[in-house]
Structure 1
């Protein structure tokens, strides 16, 4: 085909098109005006809109990169591009409008490209020095401009004998390709020492992150070796729980009414709106690429049905390129969407779990069970994760349904009403199922929580249950709770089964009913069902089924997630421990009556009912920030104490003073109130009538139930403190651990195991009684006494909570 046969009149290229027509450039090209106004100008405008905010952000940031020649190479390439674009502006501005290479949009497109080149020089320099990763904006602009300008360069070369503008334009494309390579060079090896610990994905470039190539080295190492925690990349700072918890807690504290339904969900969504919404763009891209497939099928069938003598090979090559772009786009956009939405779910877990844990430490120990929090951070959090994963499927599904119905209408006409009606029926049924499904799921989780609580308590007290012969009774109760849980879950599973039935029926009956309707309509008219129309319509119906199934699954899942959010919100709003102790002022020396410690040692409670006490004296004392105690008294207790307001008092004390520099033992039979008394001194007991006056800022406490982290013996003893060998040896000797360490296979490197399962009862109690971190007095619950070297090695240290003065 000659060059003259490929050229077009200026009136054609100066029209919007977008197709230039059969008579222009072999019938396989866009008009020049379309390429300039759609493929060039919008991309330049978008870059210029993002340029000011990104530049301002980088100017406020500090320098993160060592000095290297790379920024000079980038700047040289950017200046070269600027010069070439300047020459193009001059050529297009000086070319008469009647010239074949000139349209109404040629000069505006060239001027915008020139302005972009100016901003490119500034942004490239700032991005290199003040960002730890290659620039996303620069790389995306360069990649898209090269991809879109390929069609424009082809058109310019086919316009005729005008070679200067096409040659300069192709030169700018070559420089942009070089710049894209330079801008894609990662900077991890030239980061300043303060930024060397950043995660690998945080320093990876745009194309690296798009295809997850940054994980390749980890996969190769895992293929050849056994992966351990130390082999994984450092965690991204944005995913660390400390940061997530702080931002969520601050947002939660600003909520005026925390009892409103959905308050916690709205707070979390506001605090993590960026990560959640970042998945919307890849979702839209995935929808666009997905619904490009029917058009490709139509064109492929049309090409295949064209006689061989009439086929134009460029159309086939164009289809090959289109298929590559569409399916590569589907892969990249789907991967980015899944990565970002699961990242948002992980950020939810990292923010809400610490809130639950922190709330657990501030709740009244008599009114809360550790299994409640365990269920929230396991079952409920997993339910919320599933809901977040489905969050974008609701609006995305509606968009997909609308696009699919419109495309089906183009193929089948009025027959598209059948899939629309079918979709409406399915969606209405799903909406009606969503709310009861969420309610039934919440009831199931509550029943599961009760079973887990009972199981946890049974396993924690197995020794005493076996001694008392009640182990069979306890296991029978657990079995009954399991049966009850399954009965409650049956309603949820029934509703879930109906939802699944909807999702199964949709892809089966949707196409059948649609084509049946079309056949009925076509029987009375001239419409026929061609091969191209049948395959295209069937592909659209298949695509329509996916969003319908996603919505059917998403709505009940999101409803369950909202119910779990509400359960966590109720837990966070639960009444906290109220410390009713009165702080003694150590500067006061006014004496209180000094009496000997008096308390009951009988197994039955002292009082049959609550005494009224001296309410006037109690209120008067509470109106002051401090109370008075003798210099030699650090705590004074008087009154009646119980674990809850509606229970009988466990212990009654007329007055008991704890003196300084004395070793005080609290002795008595089981159930007489020793633990109750010590919990009251710690401020853990809010249900009492009387006064508790203290004159200490902190106290160490050991509970009867051992609690040990799953770490080595040395880690348990040293904790977060610095290792001091001499003090370490003294602690081991004082806590009678020398012989135990000799018997353990790895000595102090032996792993304790979950709840100290690898230790005996005595070893666990001696181990948690370690004094490495102790600097003040220790209040111990005397259950077993083993004193050596003047140090009492008894009890078990509850390191889960620090008690401070009120």
Structure 2
């Protein structure tokens, strides 16, 4: 009876350890039911109404499937067992003040799980996060309580029913983690596995297994990758950033940073939670290490076997939990960084697209911003959450170290103060240094991109070696300008390694000195290794903090460059506002029906373009290129601009498009416009994708356009037909092919107005005639449907087909305009006619059919190239690795290996102290200090070599 009473008293105490009142290695029953049972139940019931409110606003997303019925049956079974447990706990001998309440909450849990499981199943695309998290913790906690019930006397019946409850809960968990991808509605079947995976699948990254298996069996291609998550698509990210930017621009400093964080705040906050949990797991490790060492030394407790199993379980939970939580943190972090990259890159490019033609002509600034500057920002954001997490970790670690070494804990504090002073100084110097480096990168990228974009012309002019030297000199200049920043990177890394290399020396030195002064003695193995573990927890966060703060401060320079770019006056909106909507080809791609366009009218309904006494200049305030322009263009007509090369035809077209500043009484193009420029612009995609662009695919219309633009023979001779990738700036196509693809894109768009800038120049006569008859002729594609065409050319061959002719003189004025009959006897036109005849004779000598000319220019890709590339990707190239290994050199490689010996020396020191009682502590400490300082010097030397010397070896 006394034993029963003592057990009841013990289990009725909060504990938490039962070993304080019994010999059992366990928690008390009151602790288990108060926290491990009621805690998860309360969290589930609190989250239930909020989640149901979200789900009930969603439509049904899952088809009917037996899995839902199985979940409901399991929840009902679980509820029945919980009712039985309520009855049993009401009569149990060791029941405490919360036992019945905990059992009643179990019944409520069963009801909540049934309602939430069904709603989540039919209205969510992934397994329920709330249910899965609840079941994971509940299963672990219930397993602990189940063990306790089996160990207590007289509770076998209750333990058996509780075990059945645990088994049903496990079955519920197995059903809940099942993905629903197979029975989603048709519209959601193409979502990526990441989107449809539950928290367990994302925690272990199981959703990547399919991709890994596919990559093992075959070579991966972009088409084999999963669809991008909706939350990462640049269009949505851009809209959110633009909304925040419009509210904050011009309102104080760091407006772009504030707008960026406001638009991505949910992703940023979602990253903070796993980082906070990671702190808890990290600081459980010193306690675990200390307990394991004391257990091995002989402190095994009253139940050594149970303690051993408990330590094994604790080790598995701590390190497995650390791995899982760190995976969540890294995944959330890089998701946030991806959103930052997508937001900023889209922001810069959208602002560049909003600029007029003169301002956007030089895209080097935008190219540098979306490459170098955005990359620098993303790299600095990799340690964004370390800025708040590391001080927390350092503070906790110093407190733990004080418990181990007493006065020795001030050693890390001294290191922190020294490193913080150095870090603050670097933080002030790094932003201007990075900005200077980025500006030189921009200069080099500008020249390099221009050369690569004109590589054919470069080779034809024999300027390859000259331009190669120019780019090489720019690269050397860039390295010189980057030297200051790279030197700061070296100093920053040396400061970052001080806590891990010098910190232990200072800490152990102070601790040993304090021990000698007080009572003598030596440090135990448990104390040393526990202290080293804690010091490592100080050194790691401190190193990250030292490197992250200057890096984040340096990124301010990149933000400043982006703000300067988007806020520059030259990026103001175009002078003319044009309607952005475009007519759709048809309601369905299956049917093909051409639609007659109606031109949007404004003040003058009889003309698409009206210019009176207009002047056009390249930039506002500069001398106009064209003056006294008076022009009226009726709708549904073919207007031909004629003039010598350099007479201003392109300037007039860009002015009418609103891309150049115009003065005077102006009504320019205000409807849907398709523009084919003289200098072709193609994306790095397939021929078909370049032609379709942003329009919906209509195969019948596409075939007609390809035929009209004389592309069928070219597509037949390309290696992959219209699936051939054109390369950067269309480098895989000839000049004529690029012109016709650009023209096909403009025609395919089916806008109410088509503007073409000398797109037929450079084509042989037969190809010109084919395109004219099928596109611009009376029965051509665009003429048949009332499209207004404005065509600039220096050729007179097709003037007679024009409804309205505009002749530009050499002095920047309109020499004459009207119908062909009205201007055909113009003296200036007769002069152009003589020059055109001379050019025509010269061109005819080299005339060839499009089939022959393009076939000779575009050979088929050699067979076997793709297979060789695939084999190289699978097997790798060992010569590449050897190239980089040789670049390190034996000297620096050997120094790097020597720098690792300091960590191995501590073991010999502690073993010797245990044998000699600390007689040789001074000698060992001196050697250890020398090795640590030497290791820091070696690290600094290696970083200096990597940052300052190694780039010079690769400049060629």
Q: Alignment partner for residue 546 of structure 2, among 519, 543, 552?
A: 552
Q: 1:527 to 1:643 in 2, by over 3 A?
A: farther
Q: Alignment partner for residue 702 of structure 1, among 676, 680, 704?
A: 676
Aligned 1:7-18 pairs, distance under 5 A:
8-18=6-16
Tell me which residue corresponds to 2:268: 276
- Does residue 772 (structure 1) correspond to residue 748 (structure 2)? The answer is yes
Distance across 1 between alignment mates of 2:75 and 2:410: 55
SS state at 1:182 partner: helix
Conserved 8 A contact 1:8-1:159 = no
- Does residue 120 (structure 1) correspond to residue 113 (structure 2)? The answer is yes
Q: Alignment partner for residue 156 of structure 1, among 136, 144, 149?
A: 149
Tell me which residue corresponds to 1:634: 609
Cα shift readout 1:422-444 (whole Å, capped 9, x = no counterpart): 12332342233224213321221
Aligned 1:335-374 pairs, distance under 5 A:
335-368=327-360, 369-374=362-367
Aligned 1:438-453 pairs, distance under 5 A:
438-453=431-446
- Does residue 40 (structure 1) correspond to residue 37 (structure 2)? The answer is yes
Conserved 8 A contact 1:17-1:31 = yes
- Does residue 653 (structure 1) correspond to residue 645 (structure 2)? The answer is no
Tell me which residue corresponds to 2:942: none
Structure 2: runs of 5 or more not aligned: 579-600, 777-787, 790-956
Post-superposition offset of 1:508: 0.9
Tell me which residue corresponds to 2:430: 437
- Does residue 49 (structure 1) correspond to residue 41 (structure 2)? The answer is no
Tell me which residue corresponds to 2:514: 521
Distance across 2 between alignment mates of 1:196 and 1:319: 45
Conserved 8 A contact 1:769-1:794 = no
Tell me which residue corresponds to 2:732: 758
- Does residue 78 (structure 1) correspond to residue 75 (structure 2)? The answer is yes
Distance across 2 between alignment mates of 1:337 and 1:106: 37
Q: 1:192 to 1:170 in 2, by over 3 A?
A: same
Q: 1:7 to 1:221 in 2, by over 3 A?
A: farther
Distance across 2 between alignment mates of 1:715 and 1:58: 39
Distance across 1 between alignment mates of 2:189 and 2:380: 36
Distance across 2 between alignment mates of 1:356 and 1:64: 37
Distance across 1 between alignment mates of 2:640 and 2:474: 44
Post-superposition offset of 1:159: 2.5
Q: Alignment partner for residue 676 of structure 1, among 648, 651, 672?
A: 651
Distance across 2 between alignment mates of 1:760 and 1:282: 54
Post-superposition offset of 1:472: 7.3
Structure 1: runs of 5 or more not aligned: 584-624, 796-802
Conserved 8 A contact 2:710-2:770 = no
Post-superposition offset of 1:514: 0.2
- Does residue 402 (structure 1) correspond to residue 402 (structure 2)? The answer is no
Distance across 2 between alignment mates of 1:232 and 1:447: 36
Q: 1:294 to 1:767 in 2, by over 3 A?
A: same
Count of residues paired in the alignment: 747
SS state at 1:780 partner: strand
Q: 1:168 to 1:736 in 2, by over 3 A?
A: closer
Conserved 8 A contact 1:427-1:551 = no
Tell me which residue corresponds to 1:210: 203
- Which structure shows the bigger proportion of residues in helix conformation? 2
Q: 1:144 to 1:527 in 2, by over 3 A?
A: farther
Tell me which residue corresponds to 2:278: 286
Tell me which residue corresponds to 2:853: none
Distance across 2 between alignment mates of 1:685 and 1:232: 42
Q: Alignment partner for residue 220 of structure 1, among 208, 213, 216?
A: 213
Aligned 1:564-713 pairs, distance under 5 A:
564-575=558-569, 576-580=571-575, 631=606, 634-645=609-620, 647-653=622-628, 655-658=630-633, 661-670=637-646, 672-686=647-661, 688-694=662-668, 697-713=671-687
Distance across 1 between alignment mates of 2:502 and 2:423: 17
Post-superposition offset of 1:344: 1.2
Distance across 1 between alignment mates of 2:156 and 2:700: 85
Tell me which residue corresponds to 1:183: 176
Q: 1:318 to 1:776 in 2, by over 3 A?
A: same
Q: 1:579 to 1:108 in 2, by over 3 A?
A: same
Distance across 1 between alignment mates of 2:331 and 2:142: 30
SS state at 1:791 partner: helix
Post-superposition offset of 1:230: 2.5
TM-score in terms of structure 2 length: 0.72
Name which of structure 1's ranges 637-646 and 366-375 shifts more when overlaid on structure 2: 637-646
Conserved 8 A contact 1:735-1:769 = yes
Post-superposition offset of 1:641: 3.1
Conserved 8 A contact 2:615-2:624 = yes
Cα shift readout 1:657-707 (whole Å, capped 9, x = no counterpart): 45663542331243x433222222221112x54343336634433322221
Tell me which residue corresponds to 1:717: 691
Distance across 1 between alignment mates of 2:107 and 2:670: 73
Aligned 1:365-514 pairs, distance under 5 A:
365-368=357-360, 369-460=362-453, 478-514=471-507
SS state at 1:391 partner: coil
Cα shift readout 1:87-125 (whole Å, capped 9, x = no counterpart): 333443455xxx5x1233333333333332332222122
Distance across 1 between alignment mates of 2:458 and 2:118: 72
TM-score in terms of structure 1 length: 0.85
Distance across 1 between alignment mates of 2:296 and 2:100: 41
Conserved 8 A contact 1:727-1:772 = yes
Q: 1:760 to 1:792 in 2, by over 3 A?
A: farther
Q: 1:114 to 1:526 in 2, by over 3 A?
A: farther
Cα shift readout 1:373-407 (whole Å, capped 9, x = no counterpart): 11122112212221222111111111211121111
Post-superposition offset of 1:742: 5.2
Distance across 2 between alignment mates of 1:470 and 1:668: 29
Tell me which residue corresponds to 1:539: 533
Distance across 2 between alignment mates of 1:645 and 1:125: 65
Distance across 1 between alignment mates of 2:417 and 2:503: 12
Q: 1:435 to 1:742 in 2, by over 3 A?
A: same
Post-superposition offset of 1:14: 2.4
Distance across 1 between alignment mates of 2:148 and 2:389: 37
Post-superposition offset of 1:646: 5.5
Distance across 2 between alignment mates of 1:287 and 1:562: 28
Cα shift readout 1:612-669 (whole Å, capped 9, x = no counterpart): xxxxxxxxxxxxx96558x467332534432224644333335344566354233124
